[in-house]
Amino acid sequence: MEIPLSSDTNNETNTRTIALRIFSNVHRQHQPLDAALSLDAGWKSLAVRDRAFARLLATHTLRHHGQCSLLIKGCLTHPDQPLNEDIHDILCLGITQILFAGVPAHAAVNSTVDLAPEKFRPLVNAILRRIGRDKMPIPPASANFPGWMMSMLRKDWGDKAEDIAKASTNEAPLDISVKENPEEWATKLEATLLPTGTLRKTKAGLIPDLPGHTEGAWWVQDLAASLPVRLMGNLKGKRIFDLCAAPGGKTAQLASRGANVIAIDRTPKRVALLENTLSRLGLSAETVCADAGLWTTGELADAVLLDAPCSSIGTIRRHPDILHLKQPTDIPHFVTIQAHLLAHAAELVRPGGYLVYCTCSMLKDESELQVARFLENHKDFKRLPVLAGEIGGLAEAITPEGDVRTLPFMMKEAGGIDGFYIARLKKTVSPPTKPA
């Protein structure tokens, strides 16, 4: 994607300084990107266009950091000697502009050199000019992933792991779910109507400025994230529990389809986010602030939707800070939480009802293997296989077991899709009898 230049030429250095600070705070201080932005007074003081420029530049640098690091190493006379971290980050910012963001090389070089202390400027200038001139081979996208993460992806997906890394480095389009009349809103929003009913825009601009946002006609939701509710059939009048519900996209889907929803999340902040989403959309659901692994009620549900906490590795296209924040020790922690939540969710489903489990992880231990373990220990549940027609004909996303598994390189021509997993399970009318 090409990043638009700052609206004020005299302000470009300041905007890049802020982008550099945001990138460094995520990469080195391990701040989530949203926090790094919201806590940066300089970023909030920028004009709207310059704020977008700084955010995009920081985000692109987070995506391509690994590739930039290898290119820098290839330009150093003594690559084994450590480079000043600030200079390394400045070079990453400049290389990202030249190779991955469509910024003219002369503009990228001059403005990036200005960010460096005087004594380092000749080095920064030389390396960036060489990058722009010599057309050096660009390292594979897998270089942007932590080694442990690529190892896990290779273990689960073999040769497909490289395709996953490459597709995950691309910026995601804007996907939209609408309450009603998708054809009409596709025209109003100048979006493509996908077979699943999702609207997709490749160039969105500022989301609040788009038609229908203020009126609450639609909400932002990746195509993959919209699929679990689409697999739940006719929801009108059904009692549905939505566990781990914030920020509320799936709750909105359930409510817009006529379900009687109880939406649960664990902190007041997350419940407030959920309620704000519903309020803007003019939709209603009962919200509960509770631990979804402990919460219970006197009446069982027709269906339970569990969008379980996970590593979120499937959403790197939208959240490249994941590459810089997640640790290998996070995975067994999430797996334990998911198993507990899944077992508890099973107790909330009426006999004959449904349990839909999903994650935005591409790791099988959080997804396919998690469900396999659950079914082994819960003989009163069985899979209800998904058909390609239920997900807009996306047959490549149907697993041999009948679950849904999307990977970022799927739907390439349409702009890709987040990595996501969905299993639809049905509770038998009565538990199987034990042999005497």
pLDDT, tens digit (0-9, with 9 covering 90-100), for 299-358: 999 999 999 999 999 999 999 999 999 999 999 999 999 999 999 999 999 999 999 999
Domains of the chain: 9-139 (1.10.940.10), 173-221 (3.30.70), 234-427 (3.40.50.150)
Q: What percent of the chain has pLDDT over 70?
A: 96
Q: What percent of the chain has pLDDT over 90?
A: 89
Asked whether the beta carbons of 52 and 122 are under 8 A apart, the reply is no
Mean pLDDT of the 142-155 span: 98
Please, which pLDDT band fits residue 234 given cuts at 50, 70 and 90? very high
Q: What region does 380 belong to: left with phi over 0, alpha with psi -120 to 50, or beta?
A: alpha
Asked whether the beta carbons of 18 and 111 are under 8 A apart, the reply is no
In the block, tokens 């190493």 appear at 73
Asked whether the beta carbons of 209 and 285 are under 8 A apart, the reply is no
Strand stretches in 258-396, DSSP E? 260-265, 286-289, 301-307, 349-359, 381-383
pLDDT in tens, 237-246: 999 999 999 9
**What pLDDT score does 432 carry?**
54
Asked whether the beta carbons of 70 and 139 are under 8 A apart, the reply is yes
Length of the chain: 436
Burial of 147 (0-12, 13-18, 19+ CB in 10 A): exposed
Statement: residue 9 has pLDDT above 80: no
Q: In the structure encoding, which two tokens stand for residue 374, read together?
A: 């659950």
Asked whether the beta carbons of 178 and 199 are under 8 A apart, the reply is yes
Count the Cβ atoms, other than its own, within 10 Å of residue 347. 11
DSSP string, 360-400: S---GGGTHHHHHHHHHH-TTEEE-PPPGGGGTT-GGGB-T
Asked whether the beta carbons of 231 and 425 are under 8 A apart, the reply is no
pLDDT in tens, 383-431: 999 999 999 999 999 999 999 999 999 999 999 999 999 999 999 976 5
Cα separation, 350 vs 357, in Å, equals 16
| Three-class SS state of 407 | coil
Count the Cβ atoms, other than its own, within 10 Å of residue 74. 15
DSSP string, 24-89: HHHHTT---HHHHHHT-HHHHHS-HHHHHHHHHHHHHHHHHHHHHHHHHHHH-SSTTSPPPHHHHH
Statement: residue 191 has pLDDT above 70: yes
